[in-house]
Structure 1
Amino acid sequence: MPKTFGETVRDIRKNQQLSQRDLAGKVGVSFTYISKIENEKLDFGDYPSEELIRKLANALNTDADQLMILAKKVPDRIKQRVMERPDAFRKIADLDDEKLDQLLDDMGEGG
């Protein structure tokens, strides 16, 4: 099962030997808020904004778009591209995983 947003933040933070207080100081929030993020204890209204997710990514030296997606937010540049080419994204959305993997392989992006 894929890791959640909070689990990912915690794992990256621990790998970088940062405390919750260290990370909180870098992004301008309380360490209790970092704890709530990591333990998935946030109410909907408390969920991090795109700006805070980008600050977290920067502080953790990790991919902001990946954290955004884990937080169930679509990065603005992806939203914009979908709006520019809805025809292409409708077709992509209809592909099953096998065909999508093949498309990524053809693009040189496969895993």
Structure 2
Amino acid sequence: MNAFGDRIRELRKSKGYSLRKLAPLVSVGFSYLSKVERGRLDFDGSPSESLIHRLADVLEADEEELLLLAHHVPDAIAQQIFDHPNLFRALARCSDRQLKAIERQAYERAK
């Protein structure tokens, strides 16, 4: 599963860009961008944060969503973790069921 690459492909196609058209707009080669979309990068399998920022800008996408899909922690989230370490330690010990319940409650309160 390559959620990041799939999302980039979806965004690219929705803008009507080919790989060859998008690549120079984000300052990479089209073959590299193809590897990003297919999840076939040679090193750790994740594009740089710099490329993610450029992709979000050109594709008018949610940068935070793209960073998370690429397994990068956005700065705002990282800061919350550092500011509230006990909360995040407790969350890390929760089961998936407990986390889903907490997530539902948080969304309800945010409305």
Answer whether TM exceeds 0.5 for this pair. Answer: yes
Q: What is the match of residue 13 of structure 2?
A: 14
Letter in 1 for 2:22: L
- In the TM superposition, structure 1's runs of 4+ consecutive aligned residues that sit over 4 Å from their partners are none
Q: What is the match of residue 53 of structure 2?
A: 54
Matched-pair contact (CA < 8 Å) for 2:39–2:45: no
Q: What is the match of residue 85 of structure 2?
A: 86
Distance 1:57 1:48 in 2: 13
Matched-pair contact (CA < 8 Å) for 2:64–2:74: yes
What SS does the aligned partner of 2:17 have?
coil
TM-score, structure 1 as length reference:
0.84
TM-fit CA distance, 1:8:
1.5
Letter in 2 for 1:73: H
- Between 1:30-39 and 1:94-103, the stretch displaced more is 94-103
TM-fit CA distance, 1:4:
2.2
TM-fit CA distance, 1:45:
5.9
Cα deviation, 1:63-104, whole Å, max 9, x if unaligned, reads 111111111111122112111111011111122222222212
Identity rate of aligned residues, in percent? 39
Q: Which runs of 5+ in 2 are unaligned?
A: none
TM-score, structure 2 as length reference:
0.84
Q: What is the match of residue 75 of structure 1?
A: 74
* CA RMSD between the two structures: 2.1
Letter in 2 for 1:63: D
